[in-house]
A and B are shown apart, each in its own frame.
Chain A
Amino acid sequence: MEKLHCAVVDIANERLDVSAAIEFVSDPGFGGIAMFVGRVRDMNHGRRVAGVSYDLFDVLAVNIFKEIASDTLHEFDGKLKIFVTHAKGRLGIGDLAVVVAVGSPHRDEAFRACRMVIEKVKHQAPIWKQEHYEDGNSEWSEGCSLCEVHDHAQHAGEHASGH
């Protein structure tokens, strides 16, 4: 039984699929599904947004999605199915940017695991967002340094292995 689905979706070819996410994480033994759907909004820091472009380092992004999903699965003793997809390319207002879904026996694990996955995807995966404003300007959004994330993870690993 496949428990993890992780992918980058080039929106020039297809769109993110919420129904596919629900179907993937469904299981006869699972009574709960939690989902996070990220959409493009029309305003950021007081500026009218016309759209956004996402750039990804595809191969590494999928590897990191898999690491995040595997770690989360381990954290919850394997009793989950996890679906992670992120869009690549130019999106308009309301378009789907990211879909994370988690199925589990009960709602508490589903909510907590879903939150864990989306937070790590936002902070650890090689994804960059460029906002296009209605005034014609575009800017890359401020982000999280992977140096700090990596150092923190490395430190946590060294700490854990010492006990």
Chain B
Amino acid sequence: MKIDLKLFAAFQDLEPTGQIELELPDGSLVADLRLAIDDYGRQHWPKFRPGLLKASAFASETTLLRDRDAIPADGRMALLPPVNGG
């Protein structure tokens, strides 16, 4: 399945387009996506910080997802580094 991943904040600094596409097997979980991003980051982002990925959450367009959740069928996901509103 194709994953369209939105990036924000420090991750957008690593990838100025603000999004990447990844290919994962059908039925993959959020945990699989986390591993795939770790691989991608180590290969493509010289300033990649694995610790930031570890502290980051995932969401669909509408809700937060846990590592054990399945990736939505449409493959539209967002990577959310630690937040700081207000």
Contact = CB atoms under 8 A, between A and B. Distances in A.
Contacts of B85: 54, 56, 86, 98, 121-122, 125, 127-129
Contact of B55 (A55, A126, A129, A147): A147
B37 to A, nearest CB: 14
A76 interface: no
Contacts of A150: 57, 64, 66
Interface string A120-163: 01111111111000000000111111110011001000000000
Contacts of A126: 8, 59, 78, 80, 83
A20 interface: no
B78 A143 contact: no
Given A128-B81, A144-B83, A145-B56, A57 B63 contact: no
Contacts of B62: 59-60, 63
B9 A146 contact: no
A8 B59 CA distance: 18
Contacts, number: 89
B84 interface: yes
Interface residues of A, number: 33
Q: By DSSP majority rule, is chain A's interface helix, strand, loop, or mixed?
A: mixed
A38 interface: yes
Contacts of B86: 38, 86, 97-98, 118, 121-122, 127
B74 interface: no
Contacts of B80: 57, 126, 146
Contact of A146 (B10, B12, B57, B61): B57
Given A98-B85, A145-B82, A147-B55, A128 B9 contact: yes
Interface of B: 6, 8-10, 12-13, 55-57, 59, 61-64, 66, 78, 80-86
10 contacts: A60-B61, A122-B84, A126-B80, A126-B83, A127-B85, A128-B83, A140-B13, A144-B84, A147-B56, A151-B66
Interface of A: 38, 54-57, 59-60, 63, 86, 97-98, 118, 121-130, 140-147, 150-151, 154
